Each structure stands twice: as C-alpha cells, then as structure tokens.
Amino acid sequence: MPKLSKASASSRQEFPGFTESYEQELGDWTVSIERDFVDMDLAPFFKGAPDDECQAHHLGYVVTGTFSIRRHDGVTETFEAGDAFVIEPGHVPVMSAGGEFVAFTPTAEAKEQTAVMMPNIVRFAQEQGIELPGLTTPA
C-alpha cells in the first residue's frame, strides 16, 4: 500500500521563510505535508483561477497550530491542531505561522490548481528575492 513521509516524498518544495511542502501522488490522490512559517493570505497565488479561488477539494488533518480558508461567501474557517477537515472548491487558503497539516487532494484537481498557481508563486518569489531552484520565469 502506498504511503508518504517527509523523508520519502517524491517532491519537496521549499520557499525559505514562508513554507515547506512534501508531496507525492498516491493513486488518484496527491498527498501533501505542509509546514508554514508566516501568516499569509494566499489569494494572490490563485489569480487567474475561476473567481480567483482554489477550485479543488481537499481532505486533511491539522498536526500543529492552525490552518484557515476564506470561503467564496467571505466567511473564514479556521482549523486547529487535531481537527480533520473537508474543504470544497471555491476557497482561498490562509497560512498561519507554526501551522502544519496533511492534505489529500484529487490529483487531477491538484494539477489544475498548480498550473494556475506556479506562475504567480514564481512572480512572488522574484519580487521577494527568494531563490526557487529549478523554477523558471513566468511568461
């Protein structure tokens, strides 16, 4: 049976001072272990997605700290350590310093969101002077 740990993850994305994420496709799911170092609204990263919001479903569990989302209706939901969550499409993640969570996202949806987010993430990194090895300038 497939499994994921930080040590075994096929993908590690580190954005120094902001977040680190360990990710791998397991069957039809993309599993992520994410740790956040700052409080940050991720709305700018979803620019270009329908309604400029994440359109993926997520199941997850908060390991430490908190993790929040702002729903399409403007309501913010905060999940705390020990909470399991189900998030529907039409939301924006809000990072919390010290938060760590595990998320399960249907792989097809994860790939669609990544295609929208990556040019925005690269642009943000360039503006902040953050080096992201292996990533190129957005078109």
Report pLDDT digits (tens) over 118-139. 999 889 888 988 877 655 444 4
DSSP 1-54: -----TTT-SEEEEETTTEEEEEEEETTEEEEEEEE-S-EE-GGGGBTBGGGSB
- As a whole number, the mean pLDDT across the chain is 92
Confidence of residue 1 (pLDDT cuts 50, 70, 90): confident
pLDDT at 47 over 50: yes
Residue 109 contacts residue 91 (beta carbons within 8 Å): no
Q: What is the CATH number of the domain that holds 41?
A: 2.60.120.10
How far CA 79 is from CA of 12, 61, 99, 105, in Å, comes to 24, 9, 10, 17
Residue 74 lies in a domain: yes
Least confident segment among 1-5, 41-45, 88-92, 127-131: 127-131
* Residue 31 included in any domain: yes
Tell me the mean pLDDT in the region 55-78. 98
Nearest CA to 99 out of 60, 69, 62 is that of 62
CA pseudo-torsion sign 60, 61, 62, 66: positive
Conformation bin of residue 109: beta by default, left when phi > 0, alpha when psi is -120 to 50: alpha
Q: Are 64 and 33 in contact (CB under 8 A)?
A: no
Residue 99 lies in a domain: yes
Instruction: State residue 134's pLDDT score.
Output: 56
User: Could you tell me if residue 139 is inside a domain?
Assistant: no
Is 3 among the domain residues?
no
In a domain, 136, yes or no: no
| Number of independent structural domains in the chain | 1
Q: Structure pTM? A: 0.88
pLDDT tens for residues 70-103? 999 999 999 999 999 999 999 999 999 999 999 9
Per-residue pLDDT averaged across 8-31, rounded? 92
> In the predicted model, what is the mean pLDDT of residues 41-58?
97
Could you list the residue range(s) of the whole structural domain that residue 92 is in? 11-128
